């Protein structure tokens, strides 16, 4: 079910109606481009929502998907949390892919947020991690992640530094590296078909394990 957030971004529910939900935020590019639905998050949500029919998944499509307009992406994520709370949700897990990892950290201080799951996250050195205090922070990264010409990527060393900084703050945090994992979990092929990348099911397993903990 799609709808417009107060920020002007688009969002859509899968499942829903319960008091727990996962708010999913996408990556971005240097170019200031209109937002798109994340193939990686969409693939995960389609599978995880079937496993967990009582857990709502709220995907966000930014107004502008660019790290040069990170503040707009943060506003969109905050608006999604507000929408989830208005729908009766009182416990939120943030699922952030790539730049969405940084976006999730920015909005993690919301009282409804208990968990942040960051996939191949862009945890840039200046990122303030204090919003994670009192939350569960799980980082998952592919060992082969890196930027290629024209293709964004995030080297695992960047999330390692962010993980270590969060741990130094006393945050309940873990980090798992998927051997052979790339940056994308899935790509969008012809006619919109989702094409899982190598090790995609391992990403799914690890996220599901964190959702099990979230729902416990």
Question: What confidence tens digit (pLDDT) does each residue in 57-108 have?
Answer: 999 999 999 999 999 999 999 999 999 999 999 999 999 999 999 999 999 9
Question: How large is the C-alpha radius of gyration of the chain?
Answer: 15
pTM of the predicted model, to two decimals? 0.97
Instruction: Return d(Cα 29, Cα 197) in angstroms, integer.
Output: 20
Residue 197 pLDDT greater than 70, yes or no:
yes
Q: What does the angle CA 61 – CA 94 – CA 198 come to, to the nearest 5 degrees?
A: 75
Question: Class assignment of domain 2-215?
Answer: alpha beta
Classified as helix, coil or strand, 63 is coil
Mean pLDDT across 46-51? 97
Q: What is the pLDDT of residue 17?
A: 85
Q: At what angle do helices 200-215 and 39-51 cross, to 10 degrees?
A: 50
Q: Where are the alpha helices (DSSP H) in 87-119?
A: 99-107
Q: Let me know if 160 is exposed, middle or buried by CB neighbors in 10 A (0-12, 13-18, 19+).
A: middle
For the chain, what are the domain ranges?
2-215
Write the DSSP symbol of residue 148. B
């Amino acid at each position: 079910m799609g709808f417009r957030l107060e920020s002007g971004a688009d969002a859509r529910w899968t499942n829903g109606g319960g008091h727990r939900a996962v708010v999913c935020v996408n990556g971005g590019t240097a170019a200031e481009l209109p937002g798109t639905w994340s193939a990686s998050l969409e693939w995960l949500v389609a599978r995880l929502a079937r496993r967990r029919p009582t857990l709502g998944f709220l995907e966000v499509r930014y107004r502008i998907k660019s790290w040069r307009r990170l503040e707009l992406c943060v506003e969109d994520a905050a608006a999604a949390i507000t929408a989830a709370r208005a729908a009766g949700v009182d416990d939120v897990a943030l699922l952030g892919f790539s730049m969405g990892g940084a976006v999730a950290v920015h909005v993690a201080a919301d009282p409804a947020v208990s968990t942040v799951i960051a996939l191949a996250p862009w945890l840039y050195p200046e990122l303030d991690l204090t919003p994670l205090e009192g939350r569960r922070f799980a980082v998952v990264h592919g060992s082969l992640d890196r930027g290629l010409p024209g293709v964004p990527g995030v080297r695992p060393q960047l999330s390692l530094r962010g993980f270590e900084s969060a741990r130094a703050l006393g945050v309940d945090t873990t980090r798992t590296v998927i051997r052979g994992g790339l940056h994308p979990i899935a790509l969008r092929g012809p006619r919109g078909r989702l094409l899982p990348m190598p090790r995609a099911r391992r990403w799914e397993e690890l996220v599901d394990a964190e959702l099990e903990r979230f729902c416990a």
